[in-house]
Structure 1
Amino acid sequence: MKSLLTAITTTVLLSACAHHDDVRPGNDNQHYVVIKSVDRSEGIKEALGQATHYCEQSQSNMVVLNETIDYKGELPEHDYLKTRATAEFVTEAGSWLWIIGDGHVDDVAAVAAVAGAGKLHSMGAPYFVTVNFRCT
């Protein structure tokens, strides 16, 4: 039990220290971070968070020089967004019906929740967010 507690504590501490894994240091104090994301806004939030954390390590402030978001999915972006929204709805509705359902309803809901989650996972992360920044 003691070794399990030690392993969990070590994992938590190491993951807390590694909050800017995707930052690539550059010359002349110009750095960049690239994030793959399933969502534009979450991707930019994660990239800016990592850049800020990177600069805070040297007690500096982060200044954005440039940011870009590229969609590189297999489906057209509009179709990706529509399919993703449907899969999220099916997963959420299926999960709730699985929890509160009775009899055959919860069986069908379990299948729907798992299928929706599988579809979400298979869609990958088609957004590439790049933030160029400087620590001042």
Structure 2
Amino acid sequence: MINLIGTYECKADAKGRLMLASSLKKQLSPVLQEGFVIKRSVFQSCLELYPMQEWNVMMSKINKLNRFVKKNNDFIRRFTAGVKMVEVDATGRILIPKDLCAFAEIKKEVVLSSAVNIVEIWDKENYEKVIEDSAEDFGDLAEAVMGNIELDE
């Protein structure tokens, strides 16, 4: 399992290509050759970039769902809607498909934000708004999510 660190700013060109920051590319170097899957986020208007090994772990979990349950089929369809395979080219760029750029409202300024084992790809303005909007609730959110977990020292 990969654990990514950092938030990086970059620019998208007219074709939707992004140059990966060198420190992010270095963290991804063990999995660069395997390729990536890019998809719409479930909860936000951003994209999620999965290293192929992480995508395979997720698909293994999803494949255990009973497909004779309608809500499971509906979830699978929505979760995988617009999914594309992408690769990092020789110059360290990834090409974001136009439909996914439109979904995430990506214009020119982009933020690549590590989210443990995946990278979120945001339009910079939308990213800053979400971070600012959630700042007030973060203490309550941290308590609700992490408050009952026994943290080993």
TM bin (shorter chain): under 0.3
TM superposition score normalised by structure 2:
0.24
Which structure's CA Rg is the greater one?
A: 1
TM superposition score normalised by structure 1:
0.26
